[in-house]
Structures are given as structure tokens and as C-alpha cells.
């Protein structure tokens, strides 16, 4: 956590070769992002989007085999016929390629290249080779955790009516989204805030058991007799002590103030930060695990504020590391990773999960954002003994991409946060740690510390992975692993 506006221009991360015009990740510290929950709105259909190569036809070269004087007319006719056939062939290929292969009239399943009609998504029957069309059929919306289900008939998301609803269905829903039944908290009811003209999804009362996918039991309905829709808490998250009002540069955190903050260590040495999202899962930055990708290298320490205190505890072992497959080392695009612990964390006053940002979560521009970590207080410095915290502001993407700031380096997978005049920032050692904000009395994970130029320099705020953008990816990994 840096507070020195005169620190040097770059900080080097372990295992990262600094190149000219390339962003340097904070190895143990990172800077906050610019845009508060940048606009990432999922499309109407929950789908995967493979890239299609561009086809460029190469014109054939034709040669005339006999003198023009003996068969010019015949040659012209032949060339015309061949030309027409060639054009028809290319046209046919392009139609096949772009219509048949690129799902112009359907939705791509994923890496298999198969396509499925939009009306077959979430209809209860797997049509994709790996069943991707039945994966992302439920989601949590907004700061009140409204449960929404995808309707294949209207091809839109609808709230779920509380008619016939019970905790059994709540547990099925949470498990289908990606959580464990063991963390299930409760379901609630709220008025028809998102119903009305769009309608509802409602349980079919003819189903008596609660096994299998929930979409097998949901049907579209224009009415909801209870007059309320389901809100769902799959895990108790985002609750902590009130933050200190001391802000300048970075101040020492108190016990329980950031209970989701963890230290990721190799051989008892703090390397990066991370954030608890469930008893098993930790969010961090992909560049943290780029060099040291074996789970056996790492231990995770939660609930302690001082690095020296961590020397006496064994920490939690890691069973699995998943870095986003689209992570780009040179640009730090898609800089996010997950660690799965061998055994679940025991939650307490000092060890708790933060909330993942639900789709549609709208944080006000005036919202306060906080960063925390054991990163250096100055460029090139050592890790701090104490967990530090600082308040920062989210900076909009246009400003962060301006020539005076990062000159176009900020992508949709990133957000900037900090103070443009300098003086408050993440630094090496903060990498992978959380950028959080409070909304509706709960704390939400907005970003993971990724990279920056120097520490706390003017016009060089911290850059974070945009957790909202990666929400589907996070849930998919939790579902399948």
C-alpha cells in the first residue's frame, strides 16, 4: 500500500520481465481500478462466444493454352463459366462458414463448435455436447439477490415466483449456480419488482421431487398468485466491522475489518493477496500464479493481520489453481485466477467471505472503494508487517485510457481505481488482493489487484481485474471443479 507520490516509475513482479510500453504487475501489491462496476451486461442468451477466423479467397490464375486467334471466343466463354462457378463456390462456402459454422441463427455451445437454437437453451434437455446449454440458467440479480431464471420461450431472464417455493428448491438453485449446499443461508420474498409485462418463471406444482436441474420444473407464467418473487442467499457474505475513518496513504487495519483478505505464501513468504468467496475458493490474480502454478507451492493464511504472526501457523493447503485461459502476460488482460483449498476454511469474526458482484449491481459513482494488503509502502520496498488499507475512487475508463494516464491500455476486463493526483495506491505485494465497495449494507468484490506503473504516482492509478466481467467464469469453475 503506497503513499509516496515520488516513487519510481515501475515496480517489478517476481517472474515478470519488464518490457517497454508494457504494464508491470504488482507482485505483492496492486493498484485500484477506475471504473466502479464497469458496464458488463450479459446478453439476452447465456452463451459462449468462440472466435471465427476470417476467410479471404485467393483469386485463381488462369492461363490461355492456345493462341487467341484460333479460339478467343471459346476461351472467353470457358473463362466466364469458370469465373461464375468460382464465384458461386466461394459464395456457397462463405454461406456455409458464416451461417453454419458461426451460429448466425443459433448460439455456440463452446469449444466444440456446435450450435444450438436459442429456444433450446435452458429447456431442461442438454443439446450441446457438454451440456453447456443447461449450465447458466439461473442467476442472482442486484444487491437484494433476486433469483432469475432464463426462459427459453421468451429468450429472456425472468424473476422466479414464490408459488410452491421452499428451502429445498433454494439449495438446488444455489448448487446449480456454483455454491455448495453447505453454505446455503436462506430464501426471502420481495414484491414483483421485475415482473409485470415480462412475466415470471414459476414452479410446476405437478413435480413432487426436488432432484435434477431446476429448469425442468420451471415454466413461464404471466401471473404470480403470491405476489412476491424469490430472493436467495447462497452464502452469508459481505458482513464485517465498520472501517476506520483514517484514510491518508494507507492505515493499519483492525481485526475483522477485512475478514476476506488472505495472504498467499510460498515457503512462509508473503507473495500475493487473495479474497475469500466461499470456504473453499479464493480469488486472486493470474499473474500471481503464472510462474508458480503448482498447488503444492502455496499456502493460504486467513484471519491474521501481521506477517510475523503467520510464521507460527500452518496455513491452508491448495488443491487446485485455475488461471483464466485468456490471460495475457504482456498486457495483463484477463488477470484473474482461482485457488481451491484442500479443506474448507472455518468462518469466524475474522474469517468471512465477501459477496461476488451480482449481475445488475449498481453502485453509485459516489460510493467508497477500499483496497487492502501487505504490499510495500514505497516503490521497491519490502512487504509491510501489518495489513494496510486505503480508500480510493473508481476512475472511468475514458479517463484512464487518455494519453495522460494509460493511453489505451485499459480493456473491458480491467477497471482503474486510485487517486489521479497520486499519493494513494497499491504496490508490489498487494497483487491479487481485493478492491471492494459497500452497497445495501453488504460488501462486494469489485476487482482483484492487477498492475500499475510505479506506486502512487500522479496519473498512474492502480488497475484491477474486473470481477463483474468474470462472474460467469467464476461460477463455471465452481460448478465444474
Residue 472 falls in the annotated catalytic set: no
Q: What is the Cα–Cα distance from 235 to 445, expressed in whole angstroms? A: 14
Q: Quick: pLDDT tens for 172-205.
A: 999 999 999 999 999 999 986 544 568 999 998 7
Q: What is the Cα–Cα distance from 118 to 406, expressed in whole angstroms? A: 39
Q: Is 83 helix (H, G, I), strand (E, B) or coil?
A: helix
Residue 476 falls in the annotated catalytic set: no
105 contact partners, CB below 8 Å, separation of at least 6: 99, 115, 117
Which candidate in 4, 228, 287, 333 is catalytic?
287
Q: Quick: pLDDT tens for 328-380.
A: 999 999 999 999 999 999 999 999 999 999 999 876 667 889 999 998 877 66
Contact 32, 447 (CB under 8 A): yes
How many Å from the N-terminal Cα to the C-terminal Cα in the chain?
33
Q: Which three cell numbers stand for residue 409?
A: 491500455
Q: What is the predicted pLDDT for the residue at 316?
A: 98
Which candidate in 335, 425, 430, 472 is catalytic?
335
Residue 335 falls in the annotated catalytic set: yes
Please identify every stretch of the chain with a pLDDT value under 50, giving residue numbers as ranges: 3-22, 27-45, 47-70, 97-101, 194-195, 210, 244-248
Which candidate in 27, 143, 372, 431 is catalytic?
431
Amino acid at each position: 500500500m503506497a503513499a509516496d507520490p515520488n516513487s519510481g516509475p515501475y515496480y517489478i513482479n517476481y517472474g515478470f520481465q519488464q518490457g517497454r510500453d508494457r504494464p508491470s504487475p504488482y507482485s505483492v501489491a496492486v493498484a485500484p481500478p477506475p471504473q466502479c462496476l464497469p458496464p458488463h451486461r450479459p446478453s439476452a442468451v447465456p452463451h459462449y462466444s468462440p472466435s471465427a477466423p476470417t476467410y479471404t479467397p485467393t483469386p485463381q490464375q488462369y492461363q490461355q493454352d492456345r493462341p487467341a486467334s484460333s479460339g478467343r471466343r471459346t476461351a472467353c466463354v470457358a473463362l466466364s463459366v469458370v469465373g461464375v462457378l468460382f464465384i458461386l463456390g466461394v459464395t456457397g462456402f462463405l454461406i456455409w462458414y458464416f451461417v453454419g459454422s458461426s451460429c448466425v441463427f443459433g448460439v455456440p455451445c463452446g469449444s466444440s463448435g456446435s450450435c444450438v437454437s436459442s429456444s433450446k437453451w435452458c429447456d431442461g434437455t442438454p443439446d450441446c455436447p457438454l451440456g453447456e446449454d443447461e449450465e447458466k440458467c439461473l442467476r442472482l440479480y442486484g444487491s437484494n439477490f433476486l433469483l432469475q431464471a432464463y426462459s427459453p420461450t421468451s429468450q429472456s431472464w425472468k424473476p422466479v415466483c414464490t408459488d410452491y417455493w421452499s428451502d429445498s428448491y433454494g439449495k438446488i438453485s444455489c448448487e446449480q449456480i456454483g455454491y455448495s449446499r453447505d453454505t446455503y443461508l436462506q430464501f426471502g420474498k420481495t414484491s414483483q419488482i421485475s415482473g409485470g409485462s415480462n412475466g415470471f418463471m414459476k414452479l410446476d406444482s405437478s413435480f413432487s421431487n426436488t432432484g435434477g436441474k431446476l429448469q425442468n420444473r420451471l415454466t413461464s407464467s404471466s401471473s404470480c398468485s403470491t405476489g412476491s418473487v424469490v430472493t436467495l442467499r447462497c452464502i452469508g457474505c459481505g458482513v464485517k466491522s465498520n472501517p476506520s475513518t483514517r484514510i491518508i496513504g494507507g492505515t493499519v487495519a483492525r481485526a475483522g475489518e477485512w475478514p476476506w483478505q488472505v495472504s498467499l505464501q510460498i515457503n512462509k513468504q508473503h507473495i500475493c493477496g487473495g479474497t475469500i468467496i466461499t470456504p473453499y475458493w479464493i480469488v486472486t490474480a493470474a499473474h500471481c500464479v503464472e510462474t508458480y502454478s503448482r498447488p503444492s507451492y502455496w499456502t493460504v493464511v486467513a484471519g491474521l493481520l501481521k506477517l510475523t504472526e503467520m510464521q507460527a501457523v500452518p496455513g491452508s493447503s491448495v488443491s487446485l489453481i485455475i488461471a483464466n485461459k485468456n490471460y495475457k502476460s504482456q498486457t495483463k488482460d484477463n488477470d484473474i485466477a482461482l485457488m481451491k483449498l484442500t479443506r474448507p476454511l472455518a468462518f469466524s469474526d475474522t474469517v468471512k467471505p465477501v459477496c461476488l458482484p451480482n449481475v445488475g449491481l449498481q453502485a453509485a459513482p459516489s460510493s467508497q472503494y477500499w483496497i487492502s494488503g501487505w504490499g510495500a509502502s514505497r516503490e521497491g520496498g519490502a512487504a509491510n508487517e501489518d495489513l494496510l488499507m486505503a480508500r480510493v475512487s473508481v476512475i472511468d475508463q475514458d479517463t484512464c485510457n487518455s494519453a495522460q494516464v494509460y493511453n489505451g491500455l485499459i480493456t473491458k476486463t480491467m477497471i482503474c481505481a486510485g487517486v489521479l493526483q497520486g499519493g494513494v495506491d497499491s504496490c508490489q505485494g498487494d497483487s491479487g488482493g481485493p478492491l471492494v465497495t459497500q452497497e445495501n449494507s453488504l460488501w462486494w468484490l469489485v476487482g482483484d489487484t492487477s498492475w500499475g506503473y510505479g506506486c502512487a504516482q500522479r496519473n498512474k492509478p492502480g488497475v484491477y481485474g474486473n470481477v463483474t466481467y468474470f462472474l460467469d467464469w467464476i461460477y463455471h469453475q465452481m460448478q465444474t471443479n
